Amino acid sequence: MPRPTTANRGYPQPHPDNTLMTDVERLKQALEMIDQDINLLDNQNSESALAQNEKLRRIRLNSLLGENLFVI
The answer for residues whose C-beta is within 8 angstroms of residue 4's C-beta and 6 or more apart is: 12, 13, 14, 15
> For position 10, what pLDDT does the model report?
97
Distance CA 15, CA 45 (A): 34
Q: What percent of the chain has pLDDT over 90?
A: 89
Distance CA 20, CA 63 (A): 63
> For position 50, what pLDDT does the model report?
95
What average pLDDT does the chain have?
94
- pLDDT surpassing 80 at residue 58: yes
